[in-house]
Amino acid sequence: MSKQQTIGIFTSGGDSPGMNACIRAVVRTAIFHGLRVFGIHRGYEGMIEGEITEMHAGSVSDIIHRGGTMLKTARSKRFLTPEGRKQAADNLRANGIDAVVGIGGDGTVAGARVFFAEHGIPFVVVPGTIDNDLWGTDYTIGYDTALNTAIEAIDKIRDTASSHNRLFFVEVMGRDAGYIALHAGIAGGAEAVLIPETHTDLEAVIQTLEQGWQRQKTSSIVVVAEGDEAGGAFKVAEAVKGRLPQYDTRVTVLGHIQRGGSPTCADRVQASELGHAAVKALMAGKHSILIGKMKGELVEIPFEKAVKEHNPIPAHLLDMVKVLSI
């Protein structure tokens, strides 16, 4: 890219803590290298609506510690249509934007892939999702913060569960991915973890909880990903509580508190690193790639690979949950 070129930046899909740190890095890296930067508000929908404004170094002051996204985000049904994508391309060109950095999940990658094929505007995507389920990267922006939010809540629930001989079913986010549930369950000492990637055997869960009671466990916690096949935490609790009358059974749904809050140090630093790398990739003439991290190193994953795969759940961690629950 020459120094006369202009890039756009947007956030798409669900918000995640650390997006603002990434936005800040993209804007300031671009300006440092003599590029103009335009912020596209409300994701692909704002691209269609022409909600595009120029950004300066001061535009991203005092945001690195804030959750959410200063550019707002939205899901766009119109971008799924050729007409919507053409309108978006026209708006980008009207603002002189000839390359774009997107921050989001698999939907963002899929949209960028089709958009480039139709209109030839280069895209680089930075993984921003609390689910940590994008293939080709060990890290997605917001996962560390969301995980620590869930762990903090589980720790507090454990305190009250122990005081009342209670069995808590704690529901965490994860419609299609169980990373938050699995890691929060391990870190929170859960007796069982239910996730979408594996078959849920409720009889085995009941057996584990009964055995715990026989060993004088006076409280237990089961972590349930919202997308688990057995249903959310309320459905699972309803299905098993009649078999476990010794427990006072309760349900807690953590919900959207996992999306918000000040990002952790890890999310701030790595989001900044990925944003900086995204601009450098565009400057080097690269496009249609996801900028990620694997084993501590920056990686560039072609869109076609990123949209076809999901990070597998490590089987040894699931086995470990069973072992450590005794």
Dump pLDDT digits (tens) for 54-85. Answer: 999 999 999 999 999 999 998 899 999 999 99
3-state secondary structure of 234: helix
Q: Which residues, 6+ apart, have CB-to-CB distance to 308 below 8 Å?
A: 135
Provide the residue count of the chain. 326
Task: Give yes or no: residues 11 and 81 share one domain.
Answer: yes
pLDDT score recorded for residue 16: 95
pLDDT score recorded for residue 242: 87
322 within domain boundaries: no
11 within domain boundaries: yes
pLDDT score recorded for residue 217: 80
Residue 141: phi and psi, rounded to 5, are -60, 130
Please give the Cα distance from 198 to 196 (Å, whole number): 6
Is residue 2's pLDDT more than 80? no
pLDDT score recorded for residue 215: 83
320 within domain boundaries: no
318 within domain boundaries: no
316 within domain boundaries: no
Beta carbons within 10 angstroms of residue 223's beta carbon: 32
Please give the Cα distance from 74 to 187 (Å, whole number): 32
Task: Give yes or no: residues 158 and 255 share one domain.
Answer: yes
Task: Give yes or no: residues 197 and 114 share one domain.
Answer: no
Task: Give yes or no: residues 113 and 244 share one domain.
Answer: no
311 within domain boundaries: no
314 within domain boundaries: no
Mean pLDDT (the chain, rounded)? 92
Is residue 308's pLDDT more than 80? no
- Section 233-255 average pLDDT: 91
Residue 307 pLDDT class (50, 70, 90 cuts): confident
Tell me which of 240, 259, 278 is where a domain ends. 259
pTM of the complete model: 0.92
CATH code for the domain in which residue 291 is found = 3.40.50.450
237 within domain boundaries: yes
Give the catalytic positions in this structure: 131
Q: Per-residue pLDDT tens for 265-290?
A: 999 999 999 999 999 999 999 999 99
CATH code for the domain in which residue 224 is found = 3.40.50.460
Residue 312: phi and psi, rounded to 5, are -75, 150
Q: Per-residue pLDDT tens for 139-178?
A: 999 999 999 999 999 999 998 888 887 899 999 998 888 9
- Section 4-16 average pLDDT: 91
Task: Give yes or no: residues 131 and 35 share one domain.
Answer: yes
Task: Give yes or no: residues 171 and 232 share one domain.
Answer: yes
Task: Give yes or no: residues 174 and 148 share one domain.
Answer: yes
8-44 burial code (b ≥16 CB/10 A, e <16):
bbbbbbbbbbbbbbbbbbbbbbbbeeebbbbbbbbbb
Is residue 39's pLDDT more than 60? yes
Is residue 297's pLDDT more than 90? yes
Task: Give CA separation, 173 vs 136, 177, 258, in Å.
Answer: 21, 9, 7
Please write down the long-range contacts of 203-208, taking CB distance under 8 Å and 24 or more positions apart. Answer: 205/236, 205/240, 206/240, 206/243, 206/244, 208/322, 208/325
pLDDT score recorded for residue 38: 98
Please give the Cα distance from 25 to 49 (Å, whole number): 25
- Looking at the 3D structure of the chain, how many domains does it have? 2
Task: Give yes or no: residues 247 and 270 share one domain.
Answer: no
pLDDT score recorded for residue 314: 85
Residue 46 pLDDT class (50, 70, 90 cuts): very high
Kindly state the tokens that stand for 160.
């009250």
Task: Give yes or no: residues 182 and 277 share one domain.
Answer: no
Task: Give yes or no: residues 10 and 136 share one domain.
Answer: yes
HEC sequence for 163-195: HHCEEEEEEECCCCCCHHHHHHHHHCCCCEEEC
Nearest residue to 110 (alpha-carbon basis) of 309, 259, 273:
309
Contact 4, 98 (CB under 8 A): no
Nearest residue to 178 (alpha-carbon basis) of 154, 199, 160:
199
Task: Give yes or no: residues 181 and 127 share one domain.
Answer: no
Strands 36-40 and 52-55: antiparallel
- Residue ranges making up the domain that contains 267: 6-142+263-306
Q: Per-residue pLDDT tens for 216-242?
A: 787 789 999 999 988 899 999 999 888
pLDDT score recorded for residue 224: 95
Task: Give yes or no: residues 219 and 165 share one domain.
Answer: yes
